[in-house]
Amino acid sequence: MPKDQGIGAASKRREDIRFLTGKGQYTDDINRPGQLYCQFLRSDVAHGVIKTLDTAPAKMMDGVVAVFTATDLEAVGGVPCGWQVTDRHGEAMKEPKHPILAEGKVRHVGDPIAAVIAESAEIARDAAEAVGLEIEELPAVVGMGAALTGGANVHDDVPGNLCFDWGFVEENKDAVDAAIASAAHVTKLELVNNRLVANPMEPRCAIGDYDASRDEHTLYTTSQNPHVIRLLMGAFVLSIPEHKLRVVAPDVGGGFGSKIYHYAEEAFVTWAAKAVGKPIKWTSSRSEAFLSDAQGRDHVTTIELALDAEHNFTALRCHTLANMGAYLSTFAPCVPTWLHGTLLAGNYKTPLIYTNVKAVFTNTVPVDAYRGAGRPEATFQLERVIDKAAREVGVDPAELRRKNFIPTDAFPYQTPVAVQYDTGDYDATMTKALEMADVAGFAARRAESEAQGKRRGLGIASYIEACGIAPSSLVGALGARAGLYEAATVRVNPTGSVSVFTGSHSHGQGHETTFAQVVADMLGIDEGQIDIVHGDTSKVPFGMGTYGSRSLAVGGSAIYKSVEKIVTKAKKIAAHLLEAAEADITFENGQFTVAGTDKALGWGDVCLAAYVPHKYPIETLEPGLEETSFYDPANFTYPAGAYVAEVEVDPDTGQVEICAFTAADDFGNVVNPMIVEGQVHGGLAQGLGQALLECIGFNEDGQPDAASYMDYAMPRAADLPNFAVDHSCVTPCTHNPLGVKGCGEAGAIGSPPALVNAVMDALAPHGVAHIDMPLTPRRVWEAIQAAG
Amino acid sequence: MTTVTMIVNGEEMTGEAEGRTLLVDFLRGQLDLTGTHVGCDTSQCGACVVHIDGASAKACTIFAQACDGASVTTIEGMANADGSLSLIQQAFQDHHALQCGFCTPGMVMSASDLLARNASPSETEIREWLEGNICRCTGYHNIVKAIQAASATMIGSSQAAE
């Protein structure tokens, strides 16, 4: 294997060639023979009863093949939820039906009501407009506080709109209350974690295809986890057994969580392809994406941090309202609970923690995991309240954090919120970040800004996240309705090239390159000899897909296990061919050698022998060289780090400029530093987008205030700085074979509090203590004015 | 339906278009050139940028019929004659300027037009030029680096040729 390959090399991405030449194959690039097009008629009101639904005018139009409504789907199940939360009182969450097409009632703007199938997308669009629709509008349930007390209900069978009332750790509640009541100092903060739209650049798309001669369904779909879709849709919605249903997720143009979930549209086209007898394609417009892709965040929180006289954190109490939207998306209930409450210890040794989360139904688009999912919300409130506390008690925010960091000799560290951190060094990343950000030179830079009438601020944040999701038995106990292992088949071909079939799915992460580096490193062969196959249930073993920064930690470990088995078997074959004892065989750099001799065999010779087993230990060993592993992690992984933001605020306009942003992360071992840095850049952009630009809101009628890029502020190139990133602080994960932790979400988790802390630092002379995200010029300017 | 003919990536190509058919839909649907992508419906995202008669343009902002007789270059026409990556494409790979790849064709088309107009743009000029191209994956950091590197290589090779 060349020296510039394998683990640790910045191998260039092989997938780039097709993406750079226009040869990527995304779902909408696929066209099936005889394909028809689907357009959904969606509700333009947030809440109402369907009084008239007349499909006849649409059906009469030239080129229209069929128009379907809920009455056609009586044999079809609703969209299932994959996680059941049990509330404080031991009761299961409320789980109202989520129909494929609205059944008499609409519950959010964008709720699909009817579906038109036509010969072209244009005809389908025209025909959807011709459907006769009358909706009697009901009062919309929008604000979460009002939802719990207002009287109107999103679902008739969920009076009061409360999905669940969750407490964690419930047994700690009284002790936390007592510690806060008797604390030397308590810092309290009320804050909003703004609702975001994931906005992968590729809109969702689904093509249903049915082969009647074989009774086989195929769904091409923009998914992060095709096997999960096959299981959920096959078992719970359409009653199609796995062997009759193939789900293909080809090149997928970004996901960020929003393409994890099973959506009504993909179930519909799969069903309709059989009903109509032709392949059916649906491609979301961007405006539809704003109304139908699961959105992210949307928490309203009150957090209180108690400190003793020496500034040790003694207790933390949080109360959160979490918006579920109109229906439970696939993993929505786990986001504000198990992905959020378990992270409230952060990097700190706070001994007592209690959080209460009320999940609320509203007449808004469903909310689910978005890059970070629960962990950004936990980190934001924690790092904001710590910063506020530092200011209140008059200590340096970095020093207050350091004083309360879990020390390096305390690992493995059992937090009071269930999870056990395996390893970490939070001081190291803090030191690194502060050094890279030239904190020493900040005072001079601030003076320069002040001289120009500007305010300059420096903000820091530490973060930890639990990723590498997840130990199946643990998540099962917490309500997951699935295991969260990953699967990999490694097939060595007769001439020694290798095909890897993984349940992980790449939608931008570069798995085809990174996974090949791992295999190349283990086998000592050229990366070019290794092919990574993913995204097709007919090819890859049953696996759970990509989210929660799990691909390398879990999927990569499954590949590692399979390669280990391959090497073990290959050594047996080599021992036979070399007429040596198996124990004397060493495998290194693609060569099998016999200890103490000059006898050697190449990788290719052993592979060929496995498939042409003429001289072979056939009595004790099967021919062939192919192994499958299912890797179920022993624990989550815990990447952590420290981020520093430096901003300049124009007090006359409220404009915030990001002058510099520094990220020092501990991701454990790194396979491809170039790809890791790219992941951090992207996460930072999304986190800074949340902090400064992005938000989707709903007015009192439940109408969204954004449904396109004209009114939703996606970060543009000129909005962002260059990033200074570092991953040289390494504490390898102790429980997976690669020692890796995952890097996909960190940037989005750590950057919002760092940025907001920096702006609050800049505005401290004005007496501004908090502004809710996004920190738009208007909000900043108003806060300055209000503070007087 | 009207028959529309244009020179696409140096070859004469013909297809059918309604009056309302956008150039991007014509390229994708009639000519099977699916490298040009659709990421929004309001001409904001730039995933559909192509060159029309040499200048970058969003292919969702012009009707196919209006391009009858025009010369159009898409991402499929950007590689070198031998199939290898062009200088800009290579810079994008070298600097990890793409992740999911969906915005990439538009980015490459915009970047190449920028460098044709301004061989040595500043970082600010690059970031402002990309105002009409949205990327959700990279944070733009490496896209800017790639364009700077392509610029440096172009200037270096033109100086070497002098």
Which among B75, B85, B131 has CB closest to A716?
Answer: B131
Q: Where are the alpha helices (DSSP H) in A640-720?
A: 673-692
Cβ contact, residue pair B98, A29, below 8 Å: no
Of the pLDDT bands very low, low, confident and very high (cuts 50, 70, 90), residue A150 is: confident
For A597, the token pair is 């001799």
Report the DSSP beta bridge partners of residue A585.
A594
Does position B107 have pLDDT exceeding 70, yes or no?
yes
- pLDDT tens readout for residues A543-584: 999 999 999 999 999 999 999 999 999 999 999 999 999 999
Residues of B within 8 A of A19 (CB-CB) are: 98, 100-101, 104
Cβ contact, residue pair B39, A201, below 8 Å: yes
Q: Is B102 on the interface with A (CB under 8 A)?
A: yes
Does position A2 have pLDDT exceeding 80, yes or no?
no
How many angstroms away from the CA of A308 is the closest CA of chain B?
41
Of the pLDDT bands very low, low, confident and very high (cuts 50, 70, 90), residue B157 is: confident
Task: Give me the mean pLDDT over the A390-411 stretch.
Answer: 98
Query: What per-residue confidence (pLDDT) applies to A4?
Result: 86
Does position A195 have pLDDT exceeding 90, yes or no?
yes
Q: Is B16 on the interface with A (CB under 8 A)?
A: no
Does position A59 have pLDDT exceeding 90, yes or no?
yes
How many angstroms away from the CA of B140 is the closest CA of chain A?
6
For A324, the token pair is 């579920």
Of the pLDDT bands very low, low, confident and very high (cuts 50, 70, 90), residue A495 is: very high
What's the N-to-C CA distance of chain B in angstroms? 51
Does position A238 have pLDDT exceeding 80, yes or no?
yes
Which among A26, A252, A678 has CB closest to B96?
Answer: A678
How many angstroms away from the CA of A694 is the closest CA of chain B?
13
ipTM for the predicted complex: 0.98
Average pLDDT, chain A: 97
Beta-strand ranges (E) seen in chain B are: 2-8, 11-17, 49-52, 55-58, 71-73
How many angstroms away from the CA of B29 is the closest CA of chain A?
9
To the nearest whole percent, how much of chain A has pLDDT over 70? Answer: 100
Query: What per-residue confidence (pLDDT) applies to B159?
Result: 79
- pLDDT tens readout for residues A328-380: 999 999 999 999 999 999 999 999 999 999 999 999 999 999 999 999 999 99
Residues of B within 8 A of A25 (CB-CB) are: 34
Q: Is B73 on the interface with A (CB under 8 A)?
A: no
Task: Give me the mean pLDDT over the A247-276 stretch.
Answer: 98
B44, closest residue in chain A (CA to CA): A709
Residue type at position A411: F
Of the pLDDT bands very low, low, confident and very high (cuts 50, 70, 90), residue A58 is: very high
Residues of A within 8 A of B141 (CB-CB) are: 681, 720, 722-723
For A749, the token pair is 């988790």
Cβ contact, residue pair A682, B138, below 8 Å: yes
Cβ contact, residue pair B139, A22, below 8 Å: no
B19 alpha-carbon distance from chain centroid = 24
B130, closest residue in chain A (CA to CA): A717
A506, closest residue in chain B (CA to CA): B100
- pLDDT tens readout for residues A584-625: 999 999 999 999 999 999 999 999 999 999 999 999 999 999
- pLDDT tens readout for residues B83-92: 999 999 999 9
Task: Give me the mean pLDDT over the A767-773 stretch.
Answer: 97
Residues of A within 8 A of B96 (CB-CB) are: 12-13, 674-675, 677-678
Residues of A within 8 A of B78 (CB-CB) are: 21-22
Does position B134 have pLDDT exceeding 70, yes or no?
yes
Residues of B within 8 A of A508 (CB-CB) are: 99-101, 137
Cβ neighbours of residue A706 under 8 Å, at least 6 residues apart?
Answer: A197, A290, A695, A696, A697, A712
Cβ contact, residue pair B34, A509, below 8 Å: no
Query: What per-residue confidence (pLDDT) applies to A515?
Result: 98
Helix A746-763 vs helix A375-393: crossing angle, to nearest 10: 30
Which among A15, A252, A717 has CB closest to B140?
Answer: A717
The Cβ of residue A442 has, within 10 Å, a number of other Cβ atoms equal to 18
Query: What per-residue confidence (pLDDT) applies to A1?
Result: 62
Which helix (H) or strand (E) is A209 found in, with range? strand A205-211
Residues of A within 8 A of B89 (CB-CB) are: 20-21
Residues of B within 8 A of A746 (CB-CB) are: none
Torsion of CA A656, A658, A662, A667, to 10 degrees: 80
Cβ contact, residue pair A723, B133, below 8 Å: no
How many angstroms away from the CA of A84 is the closest CA of chain B?
31
Size of the A and B interface in Cβ pairs below 8 Å: 176
Residues of A within 8 A of B40 (CB-CB) are: 286, 708-709
Cα distances (Å, whole numbers) of residue A273 to A32, A277, A439, A659: 11, 5, 61, 53
Query: What per-residue confidence (pLDDT) applies to A494?
Result: 98
pTM of the predicted model over 0.90 = yes
How many angstroms away from the CA of B162 is the closest CA of chain A?
30
Contacts 24+ apart (CB under 8 A), A528-534: A529/A496, A529/A497, A529/A498, A530/A497, A530/A498, A530/A499, A530/A500, A531/A497, A531/A498, A531/A499, A531/A500, A532/A500, A532/A502, A533/A499, A533/A500, A533/A501, A533/A502, A534/A501, A534/A502, A534/A503, A534/A504, A534/A505, A534/A506
Q: Is B72 on the interface with A (CB under 8 A)?
A: no
Contacting B residues, span 123-152, partner chain A, CB-CB under 8 Å: 123-124, 126-128, 130-131, 133-144
Half-sphere exposure of A697 toward its Cβ, with a 13 Å CA cutoff?
12
Of the pLDDT bands very low, low, confident and very high (cuts 50, 70, 90), residue A3 is: low
Cβ contact, residue pair A20, B137, below 8 Å: no
Cβ contact, residue pair B136, A200, below 8 Å: yes
Cβ contact, residue pair B137, A508, below 8 Å: yes
For chain A, how big is the Rg over CA atoms in Å?
Answer: 27
**Nearest one of A636, A631, A633, A632 to A413, comparing CA atoms:** A636
Instruction: Say how far apart CA B148 and CA B126 lie, in whole Å.
Output: 8
Which helix (H) or strand (E) is A187 found in, with range? strand A185-193
Query: What per-residue confidence (pLDDT) applies to A385?
Result: 98
To the nearest whole percent, how much of chain A has pLDDT over 90? Answer: 97
What's the N-to-C CA distance of chain A in angstroms? 66
Instruction: Say how far apart CA A475 and CA B117 lie, in whole Å.
Output: 56
Cβ contact, residue pair B35, A287, below 8 Å: no
Residues of A within 8 A of B99 (CB-CB) are: 254, 508-510, 678, 682
Instruction: Say how far apart CA A186 and CA A262 lie, in whole Å.
Output: 43
Q: Is B31 on the interface with A (CB under 8 A)?
A: no
Query: What per-residue confidence (pLDDT) applies to B158?
Result: 79
Cβ contact, residue pair A718, B36, below 8 Å: no
Cα distances (Å, whole numbers) of residue A627 to A568, A661, B42: 11, 45, 49
Cβ contact, residue pair A708, B40, below 8 Å: yes
Residue A190: helix, strand or coil by DSSP? strand
Residue A85, judged by CB atoms within 10 A of its CB (0-12, 13-18, 19+), counts as buried
Query: What per-residue confidence (pLDDT) applies to B162?
Result: 67
Residues of B within 8 A of A685 (CB-CB) are: 136, 138-140
In contact, A134 and A52? CB cutoff 8 Å? yes
DSSP one-letter string for A568-620: HHHHHHHHHHHTS-GGGEEEETTEEEETTS--EEEHHHHHHHHHSTTSS-TTT
Instruction: Say how far apart CA A596 and CA A245 lie, in whole Å.
Output: 54
In contact, A295 and A367? CB cutoff 8 Å? yes
